[in-house]
Chains A and B, each alone.
Chain A
Amino acid sequence: MKPQQVQKLAFGIITTSAALVVIPIVLVILFIIVKGIGALSWTFLTAVPQNGMTEGGIMPAILGTMILTLGTAIVCIPLGIGAAIYLAEYARDNRLSRWVRLAIINLAGIPSIVYGLFGLGAFVLFLNLGTSIIAGSLTLGIMTLPVVISTAEEAILAVPQEFRMVSQSLGATRWQTIRRQVLPHAMPGIITGIILGLSRAAGETAPILFTVAAFYLPNLPRSASDQTMALPYHLYVISTQVPGMPLSIQYGTALVLLLLVLSLTLVATLIRTRMRRRRDW
């Protein structure tokens, strides 16, 4: 075959394969929207479930997911930004800093269920926190650390080196330089990373299985040591373990979770594009 023909064939296969990847994505999202939108109503979003979850709303699960996301943020933001600043500004190229990087890569690869086991062993049992919001937040927070650290580090490194040099040559200390010249300009990128990480944490089921999630709670959580319902876990249970669960509620729950997560991703992307346009340098 002539090279041109080979190319045509190869490009044809490649294009088909790309379509095979992309088209299902669109189909999946559309499918859930179509199937689930019927269930979406003000009641669905704000009322508590009734009649064994087959009626009413899923508000406690939505609230629970929001609370857990907040808890995750509290855990991973200070640690994550701190570690990112360490890597970008304070770390020298020695064994210790290489170990830190290796640790972060490994944390990124640990399966979510293993984080769940860790949360169970360390927070629920060892620290005696019981299945609670605080145990779940700690677990999710640690799981989200690698993403936050990596994106924050990149955002910090993207700040031009000249700013640091000029700042210090004008008599600013290292921390003053970081605080006044580096962090403010890295902040949009850092926030993007945090929101992306949080959106992933919001959708996770495995880490919260043994650390915080409950299927049916008579009351809303009142303190950080209470359990809570959460959307991913709720979807899991109503789709596999409750006979007679109306399809509309199942798809509705899936849709709510999907919208929540995707809108967070959208916000993060918007921040990122807005920041690129507003740059001075």
Chain B
Amino acid sequence: MNLAQIAKRQYVERRPNAQTIRGWLRRNWLEWLIEVLIRAAGFSTILIVGLIFVFLLREGLPTFLDIPLRQLFSSRWYPIESLYGLWSLIVGSILVTAGAVIIAVPLGLTTAIYLGEIAPQWQREILKPLIEMLAGIPSIVLGFLGWMVLAPLIQTMGASTGLTAFSGSLILAYMALPTIISISEDALYAVPKTYRDGALAMGATQWQTIWRVVLPAARSGLMMSMMLGIGRAIGETMAVMMVTGNAANVPDFGPTMFFSPVRTMTATIAAEMGEVSQGSMHYNVLFGIGIVLFLITFGINSLAGRFVGRVVRRRGGQL
């Protein structure tokens, strides 16, 4: 039997990285310490997510233990009388978010197409910083403007009040736009040039290329941008708090439902936490709403995480 066969039979995976901890430690205790600290920093992120969930549970669990589910999901939110029906809040969040998505996705996608495929370079150089600036405007400032300008405007256009779900959706849409535009842009950019060249070479117009080749190819990235946009919209607090009217009702189903005042889950927490006493049921329920929000965004982000990859890498991971 030759050496190769013996070797194969005794094949043990030995990694050249192996070194005695002790010998190496003696020489480079500083290296070791730094490595430990750096790894700790990395793992701390997992710890933090866990802690957030734990503390939410700590204060919010009574919500799900002490309140019968039927009551919890009823539509009467009346903490003064110990009625904690979340349904109107959930509907409020859904309405506002859905409206925002309906507005923001077409706008965002088309703007991304414009930036990526149609706009000349000089326009890109102006527009992209502008959109980044939009991302930088604090939500309270947008909410403030919505409250001062948008709501009265909507009221003069015939609604009974300007503080409606629609107002919230409009502002939210603009807040979600930078995210949607950026990620869609990257998704479009990631489509290989050869796809476009191939279509154009077969005589397709630029639009046909975009519509039939580029968009389908970028589909997963575009999905991700939409989901992250949704996540952004659901989580927004201050802007919606200022313009949606804060009425915890479930509006009647129909197109006018967007023009009724609503209240979102986020606004509820922000508005009422200042007034509750610690340990009271109201307090616990507000944390319970927080748990619901955490789980929703956790779900959306895990889903979106499936589409992560080169798109997020190129963006620098900003979501």
A and B touch in their complex, CB below 8 angstroms: yes
On chain B, the residues within 8 Å of A265 by CB distance are 132-133, 136
- A85 / chain B contacts, CB cutoff of 8 Å: 38, 41
- Contact assessment for A79 and B41 in the assembled complex, using a CB-CB cutoff below 8 Å: yes
Expressed in whole angstroms, the Cα–Cα distance for A249 and B134 within the complex equals: 23
CB <8 Å contact, B316 and A150: yes
- Give the residues from 3 to 26 in chain A that come closer than 8 angstroms, CB to CB, to chain B: 3-4, 6-7, 10-11, 13-15, 17-18, 20-22, 24-26
Residues in chain A near residue B44, CB distance under 8 A: 79, 83
Question: Closest approach, in angstroms, between the C-beta of A160 and any C-beta of chain B?
Answer: 16
Near B by CB (< 8 A), chain A positions 98-138 give 99-100, 102-118, 120-122, 125-126
Q: Which of B51, B119, B140 has the most CB of A within 10 A?
A: B140
- By the criterion CB–CB under 8 Å, are A110 and B45 in contact? no
Q: For the side of the interface on B, what is the size category?
A: 35 or more
Would B140 and A110 count as touching, CB distance under 8 A?
A: no
| A202: B residues at CB distance < 8 A | 138
Q: Is A204 an interface residue (CB 8 A)?
A: yes
Q: Is the interface of A mostly helix, strand, loop or mixed?
A: helix
Instruction: Kindly supply a per-residue 1/0 record for chain B positions 162-175, scoring 1 wherever the CB is within 8 Å of any chain A CB and 0 otherwise.
Output: 00000000000010
Q: Once bound together, how far apart are the Cα atoms of A103 and B55, in whole Å? A: 16
A249 CB to nearest B CB, Å: 12
Can you list 26 A-B pairs with a CB-CB distance of less than 8 A?
Answer: A7-B206, A15-B114, A18-B115, A22-B130, A28-B145, A79-B44, A82-B37, A86-B39, A86-B41, A90-B42, A103-B48, A103-B49, A104-B45, A112-B237, A113-B290, A113-B293, A116-B269, A117-B56, A154-B317, A174-B35, A175-B34, A205-B140, A209-B270, A236-B140, A240-B242, A261-B136
By a beta-carbon cutoff of 8 Å, the part of chain B in contact with chain A is 28, 30-31, 34-35, 37-46, 48-49, 51-52, 55-56, 58-59, 106-108, 110-111, 113-115, 118-119, 127, 129-134, 136-145, 147-149, 174, 177, 181, 204-208, 211, 228, 231, 234-238, 242, 266, 269-270, 273-274, 278, 286-287, 290, 293-294, 297-298, 300-302, 304-305, 308, 312-313, 316-319
